[in-house]
Structure 1
Amino acid sequence: MTGVVPPVCTPLTPDNEVDVASLERLVDHLVGAGVDGLFVLGSSSEAAYLPDGHRRTVVETVVRHVAGQLPVLAGAIDMASLRVLDHVRAAARAGADGVVVTAPFYTRTHPAEITRHFRLVADRGELPVFAYDLPVSVHSKLDPDLVLELAAEGALAGLKDSSGDEGALRRVILGARARTDVPGFAVLTGSELTVDSALAMGADGVVPGLGNVDPHGYVRLFRYARAGDWERARAEQERLCALFRMVSVGDPLRMGASSAGLGAFKAALHLRGVIDCPLTAAPQVPLSAAETEQVGKHMAAAGLL
């Protein structure tokens, strides 16, 4: 798994159902930009807010619509192993190519239990497993040595690192390159803002939430980096960093970071005509008209409107 793998937003109808037609248009928008894979039911997909029926609809819709053009990874994110395994089986039935799994959360989890969790999911599941390092949400950091150990066992096919710990990411990248017992192990950064530096370190790709809004930009950035054109890669990264400021238009006195960030992505997709409705799932707070106008200004400055 290499290249640009956007975590696909989940369009909703005004009555909080999955908007299948908008989701299909979003997939076409991403595939048409030249992305290398799709990741559904991650943080940018609002997986934490969606009931199981919505999750199944998302995976089934995207796999069916992609029709084998690109690999599709599905988030199997839940509090503990048995619930995660239910999601893995549903993703396998839908035809997903792999699953993305966090450490267990809510309970106070010991490192030995995190290790057992990934081994159980890999052993009893039916799909390759990508670990999702997301300590801001699951309240535990995946140790680089554990990631490499699980990779050597064949329990992990790759890592999506959204930890913000660049030193730990570097340890995994260098460790994976130095070892002969982790062939094909993919290291993907989840940071929209440091893609050029991650690729320079040797990361295999990027999973950018902002890639929903500007997939062409991330495809260009990846291609510049792979060609060794670091000057162009840096310029494209800086343009995307400016565009990413749209996630801060929401008033922090009345909404959280998820409402602001995901609301901005969906507002941008609505302004671009990709999705019909910018609604985010409850209990997130919607952007105001003035905040949506600010999203539009960021997009215009980036050349997207």
Structure 2
Amino acid sequence: MTTSNVAESATTSNVAESAMLSGVIPPVCTPMTPDYEVDTASMTRLVDHLIDGGVDALFVLGSSSEVAYLTDAQRRTVLDTVVGHVGGQVPVLAGVIDMTTPRVLEHARVAVEAGVSGLVATAPFYTRTHPGEIRTHFRTLAARAGLPVYAYDLPVSVHTKLSADLLLGLAAEGALAGVKDSSGDDGGLRQVILGREAPFSVLTGSEVTVDSALWMGADGVVPGLGNVDPQGYVELYRCAARGDWEAARAEQERLVRLFEIVHVGGTRMGGSSSGLGAFKAALHLRGVIDCPITALPQTPLNDDEVGRIGKLLATAGLL
């Protein structure tokens, strides 16, 4: 069978055999030691912190996991550590994010061997791609991997917006089980929600508009800030699920104020350094991880910035 034929052979079986994902699915941070290796002891404590907080699934090797900074060996360490420690308590999704289809397929092979429940992939990047090539990318991954595949719509990083037509078409074929929408395009998100017919999980990646996304009909949230305050996002989701939108709004507004931690780095550093550094600093202050270091070449937060994060945590009732 040729690559083209394999790419066209994805069926609805992957989706039909898997449950729809919903609820709170944090993209798990990757704690590191001072010499930039994966801190497996801190990682297992973080997993316990999240599961104890009531989350519905875990997403490792995403943007908040610093996947772009990890070596292949470090990615495998994360997979083995988390899947082994979770022991089936909740589903574990693995990011298989890379530039082109062959590289993504290799990451998928390793993730499947590790025992994950599903795969998360962006569109190809670095190379200039056409929507037809993006379709081939997701069809091939779905056909080869044998697990549910979730698209990660992240145009700020991959420079391609996944259209509603593309996502819904792949969903109808069974090539996609859902989408994590981190595009910031609420109109596009609504198009996907309104247009879906096949089973298809719509998950917002925005920490600060979860209540409105759930009100529109989204199934859940993948919040980086959920590492810091999983209970808060679980409470927000539960309020929305029972139709208590006033309580959901109040919890969302508390989380919006807490989200200010990602801005403490200001213009002194890149957005990744400020945001991921803030999540790790907060986890360190809360006693969950041993070291708040972020991967090179990200700029570390200084003592004053960490102090400001501590004040925001205290205001949110987390210290």
Query: What TM-score bracket applies, with the shorter chain setting the length?
Result: over 0.9
Name the SS for the 2:65 alignment partner. coil
Alpha-carbon separation, structure 2, partners of 1:127 and 1:290: 45
Correspondence list, 1:283-302, <5 A = 283-302=297-316
Per-residue deviation, 1:295: 0.5
- Cα distance per residue 1:102-154 (max 9 Å; x no partner): 00001111111111111111111232100000000000000101100000100
Distance, in Å, in 2 between the alignment partners of 1:111 and 1:70 is 34
Residue matched to 2:5: none
Query: What letter matches 1:263 in structure 2?
Result: G
SS in 1 for 2:64: coil
Q: Tell whether the 8 Å contact from 2:131 to 2:166 is kept in structure 1 after alignment.
A: no
Q: What residue number does 1:244 align with?
A: 259
Equivalent in the alignment of 1:272:
286
Is contact 1:89-1:126 (8 Å) kept? Answer: no
3-state DSSP of counterpart to 2:94: strand
Contact 1:88–1:127 (CA under 8 A) maintained in structure 2: no
CA distance in 1, matches of 2:248, 2:132: 40
How many angstroms apart in 2 are the aligned matches of 1:61 and 1:86? 19
RMSD of aligned residue pairs (Cα, Å): 0.6
Does residue 132 of structure 2 align to residue 132 of structure 1? no
Counterpart residue type for residue 236 of structure 1: E
Give the aligned partner of residue 12 of structure 2: none
Partner of 1:227: 242
> What is the CA–CA distance in structure 2 between the aligned matches of 1:112 and 1:35, rounded to whole Å?
36
* CA distance in 2: counterparts of 1:204 and 1:251, whole angstroms: 33
**What is the CA-CA distance between 1:101 and the residue it aligns to?**
0.3
Partner of 2:180: 160
Aligned-partner Cα distance in 2 for 1:65–1:84: 25
In percent, how many aligned pairs have the same letter? 71
Query: Who is 1:38 aligned against?
Result: 58
Hey, what's the Cα distance between the residues in 2 that align with 1:98 and 1:47? Answer: 16
Distance 2:39 2:71 in 1: 14
CA distance in 2, matches of 1:202, 1:121: 27
Per-residue CA distance 1:46-76 (angstroms, 9 max, x = gap):
0011011000110111000000000000000
**Where do residues 202-217 of structure 1 align in structure 2 (5 Å cutoff)?**
202-217=217-232
- Secondary structure, in 3 states, of the residue corresponding to 1:63? helix
Displacement, 1:30? 0.2
TM-score (norm 1): 0.97
Aligned equivalents of 1:124, 1:24: Cα separation in 2 = 30
Equivalent residue, structure 2, for 1:148: 168
**Do the aligned residues in 2 keep the contact of 1:40 with 1:75 (CA within 8 Å)?**
yes
Superposed CA offset, 1:222-267 (max 9, x none): 0000000001000000000000001000031x31000000000000
Question: What is the distance in 2 between the residues matched to 1:227 and 1:51?
Answer: 43
Would you identify which runs of 4 or more consecutive aligned residues in structure 1 move more than 4 Å?
none
- What is the distance in 1 between the residues matched to 2:120 and 2:195? 21
State the Cα deviation string for residues 8-59 of structure 1 (Å, max 9, x = none). Answer: 0000000111000000000000000100000000000000110110001101
Instruction: Say yes or no: does 1:20 pair with 2:34.
Output: no
Cα distance in 2 for residues equivalent to 1:66 and 1:302: 28
Counterpart among 73, 77, 87 of residue 97 in structure 2: 77
How many corresponding residue pairs? 299
Is this contact kept in 1: 2:261–2:312, CA < 8 A?
A: yes
